[in-house]
Amino acid sequence: MQVLQARAISELQRILSARGQLLQIRELAAVHGFEPIVLKGGVATLSGNEPVDVDDVDVLLAEEPAGLLGSLLDDRGYRSIASWTVAHLAPRFAPEAVSVEVHFAIKDADQIPELRARARPFAGFPGLWRLSSSDHLWHLLVHSVVTHPYRRGCIRDVVLTSSAARDCSQAELDEVTGRIARHRQGRLLTAMLELAKAVHSGASVTDPFRAEAAANYLLRARFGWAARWRVLSPMGTTVFVLLGCRMDRQAEWVEAITRPPLPSSWGFLAAMQRRWPRLGDASQRILRILRLVLGRLLAWPVATSARRLAERSAHRRAPNQTVAL
């Protein structure tokens, strides 16, 4: 019980921190005239509707105001210790606070201008905006199923998705269902949405992500040492790619080969990119591919063990037994 209480207090502190960060961003937006869109867990944090644990605050802006907000946060004492990505600025950190990610794009989502155009004011928080209900639900589904496959079926993400689905009208749910039907990973997106709906309705359901749950436990209990080795850290994501479908594995290769080069955080490679850009970028791509090959070799036995654990767990139940969520 003490462990649970300590965990609950820690989560509450992060939720309150995220709320404070968003209110601070609202103040900056009011002074400088930009319109930040609150994403993902930040919506639940402000709405008070089943808030969930958060590790960071995500807001979406066009590229120019995104850079301005990053500079304004730096002026307030925030610091960045990571590099920027193709979707957001480098995360900003402040003491005793959750980090802030300022997005100018959303990974695995297209038509960002249309998303911004459909955004609406955040009720109760003038100056802040949020995605439309259907866009918010779609973003959560894509984020937890496609962008971060290790989060498939995670309780926190299921609860967040359930809350988003509850905010949608039937027409909006039909729109999201149509998007899912056209997506290359529609089967997994459908499974996540159905699981979220079951949480809301209280229905009994068979967990479609038992293997992913087993893999998460294995990676933490038996292979936690891999996360400490920088070259091995992508192995964790690769385990869930192997547990997914053929399109997951193809997408991982395509990203490794075609992802636009970014300044490396390795000093030697970063210097090579500055002095000999073509050679540096080619070297970065080759290293990325080699790391992926190594990751797959290491991830394969973990994924195999996770599948076996999931099958054993299913066989221990009666054939028609389901899990009440």
Residue 90 burial by CB count (10 A; 0-12/13-18/19+): exposed, middle or buried?
middle
In CATH, what number does 1-131 get? 3.30.460
Judged by average pLDDT, the poorest of 9-13, 142-146, 198-202, 280-284 is 280-284
| pLDDT of the residue at 96 | 84
Mean of per-residue pLDDT scores for the chain: 84
Judged by average pLDDT, the poorest of 120-124, 195-199, 263-267, 284-288 is 263-267
User: pLDDT digit string (tens) for 207-255?
Assistant: 889 999 999 988 887 776 665 655 556 677 888 888 887 777 877 777 7
DSSP structural state of residue 45: H
Instruction: Write out the H or E segment, with its range, that includes residue 301.
Output: helix 277-315
* Phi, psi of 37, deg, nearest 5: -100, 120
Strands 129-130 and 37-38: parallel
What is the pTM assigned to this prediction?
Answer: 0.84
User: pLDDT digit string (tens) for 157-203?
Assistant: 999 999 999 999 999 999 999 999 999 889 999 999 999 999 877 77
257 has pLDDT over 80: no
* Domain ranges (residues) in the chain: 1-131, 133-202, 211-324
Per DSSP, which regions of the chain are E strands? 37-38, 56-60, 99-103, 120-121, 129-130, 204-205, 323-324
Quickly count: other Cβ atoms within 10 Å of residue 125's Cβ. 16
- Residues 100/78, Cβ–Cβ less than 8 Å: yes
Q: Which of 176, 178, 149, 150 is nearest to 165 (CA)?
A: 176
- Residues 83/262, Cβ–Cβ less than 8 Å: yes
In terms of pLDDT, which residue wins out, 80 or 313? Answer: 80
Instruction: Write out the H or E segment, with its range, that includes residue 299.
Output: helix 277-315
